[in-house]
Structures are given as structure tokens and as C-alpha cells.
């Protein structure tokens, strides 16, 4: 049997071996970073300021599109809303659905275009509304109003609410200028729905929603 001859490895297959005695080359020296100039700093700060102002303006316009603040003047909505009380009014809600009976709305009245009014929706388009000695009837049924109310003492004739119009009353019935005296409100005049009370602090909170069984 022939003894095997040891194989010789070529230099190409030998692993590279680092000689610790040979020093590595020094890394290339990098130039120091350039310092920003005064004009560069001013330009960067100005750009950030402009971006911040644009973002603030966009947020303001979005909020203004959806919400508006309103200050109550007078006592027509006592005992639920008070003179000097501040509300946020949602303008977005009626882009998603029509006003509902019981909603408290802010609108431009047909009798006075110089100021906004706040009242409660009583009659919807097509409803027949009548008031007998302060009691409200909608489509022949007594309206069961579950919120605090200063009931009126007056009577009105039967009124059919026109299309795209709403019959509104104040909660302080005998001291409210509303649909019983000047007629219905066009949907185009409605600004929005009373949403949040934010001043004074003791009145802070969401404006309650009420639903009616009568008159539907």
C-alpha cells in the first residue's frame, strides 16, 4: 500500500495572517465640520417660524370650521342656560345629520340679522305645532318635555312647519322671542348645535341631549 504524499497548499488557499509586528496605516485625517453661518441659522429659524405659523393657521381654520364660541345674552333659556354663559357650538354636527327635536341651536333669527339667538327645536319640517295655555302639542300629541322648563301661559294657532324650516322656543317661555311670535327658522340660518358649556367654571360640561316620544 502506497503511503499518501502530503499535499501542499498553494498560497492562494492559505488564510491571510496579520503580522502584529507590522503597524496599521493611520486613518486619513477628516476635515472639521463647517460651522453654520449666521445667515444659515437665521434662515433655518425663519423657516421653522413660517412652518409653525402655517400649522397654527390650519388648525385654527379647521377648528373654526367645526366649532364656534357663543355668549348667551338675556334670560330666554332659563333655567337651563344663563345670561353671560359661554358655549361651544358644533357646526359640524348638522353637516352629518339634520336638527332633531329637543336640540338647542344657535341661529340667525328672521327678525334680527344683527345678532344670533339660542333656542330649542320643537317642531321639525312637516310637523303641526300648537300651543294651548302654555302646553305644546306636536301632531296632535302633547309634547312631554323632560328638561327643566319655565312654562308659558299663552296660546297659538296650529302651525304646519314648512320644508327646511324649524319651529323653536325658548325654555323661559313667557320671556322668549321665538317661533310663537315671529315664525319658523330656515335651516340655512342655523349656525350649529349647543355642544359644550365652558364658562363660568361651575357650568362646565356637555350640553344635555333630550329625545321625545311625543310628536314623532
Pick the closest to residue 78 from 143, 148, 146 (CA basis): 148
96: its cell numbers: 352629518
The reply to whether 35 belongs to the active site is: no
Rounded CA-CA distance 159/162 in Å is: 9
SS3 11: coil
The sign of the torsion formed by the CA atoms of 158, 173, 194, 192 equals: positive
Dist. CA 50–CA 17, nearest whole Å? 60
Question: Active-site residue among 5, 90, 114, 119?
Answer: 119
Give the whole-angstrom CA distance, residue 192 versus residue 93.
Answer: 7
**Cα–Cα distance for residue pair 196/198, rounded to 1 Å:** 6
Count Cβ atoms below 10 Å from residue 5 Cβ, excluding itself.
6
Catalytic residue, from 5, 10, 76, 189: name it: 76
Residue 76 annotated to the active site: yes
What is the three-state SS of 198-212? Answer: EECHHHCEECCCCCC
SS3 content of the chain, % helix, strand, coil (to 5): 20, 25, 55
Catalytic residues: 76, 119
Amino acid at each position: 500500500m502506497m503511503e499518501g504524499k502530503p499535499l501542499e497548499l498553494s498560497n492562494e488557499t492559505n488564510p491571510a495572517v496579520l503580522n502584529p509586528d507590522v503597524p496599521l496605516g493611520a486613518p486619513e485625517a477628516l476635515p472639521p465640520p463647517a460651522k453654520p453661518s449666521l445667515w444659515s441659522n437665521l434662515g433655518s429659524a425663519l423657516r421653522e417660524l413660517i412652518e409653525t405659523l402655517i400649522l397654527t393657521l390650519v388648525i385654527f381654520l379647521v377648528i373654526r370650521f367645526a366649532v364656534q364660541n357663543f355668549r348667551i345674552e338675556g334670560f330666554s333659556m332659563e333655567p337651563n342656560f344663563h345670561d353671560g354663559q359661554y358655549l361651544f357650538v358644533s357646526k359640524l354636527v348638522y353637516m352629518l345629520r339634520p336638527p332633531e327635536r329637543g336640540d338647542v341651536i344657535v341661529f340667525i333669527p328672521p327678525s334680527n340679522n344683527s345678532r344670533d339667538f339660542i333656542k330649542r327645536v320643537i317642531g321639525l319640517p312637516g310637523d303641526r305645532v300648537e300651543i294651548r295655555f302654555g302646553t305644546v302639542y306636536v301632531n296632535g300629541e302633547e309634547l312631554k318635555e323632560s328638561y327643566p322648563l319655565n312654562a308659558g301661559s299663552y296660546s297659538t294657532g296650529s302651525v304646519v312647519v314648512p320644508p327646511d324650516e324649524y319651529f323653536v322656543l325658548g325654555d323661559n317661555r313667557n320671556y322668549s322671542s321665538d317661533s310663537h311670535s315671529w315664525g319658523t327658522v330656515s335651516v340655512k340660518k342655523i349656525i350649529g348645535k349647543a355642544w359644550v358649556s365652558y364658562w363660568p367654571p361651575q357650568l362646565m360640561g356637555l350640553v344635555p341631549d333630550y329625545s321625545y316620544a311625543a310628536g314623532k
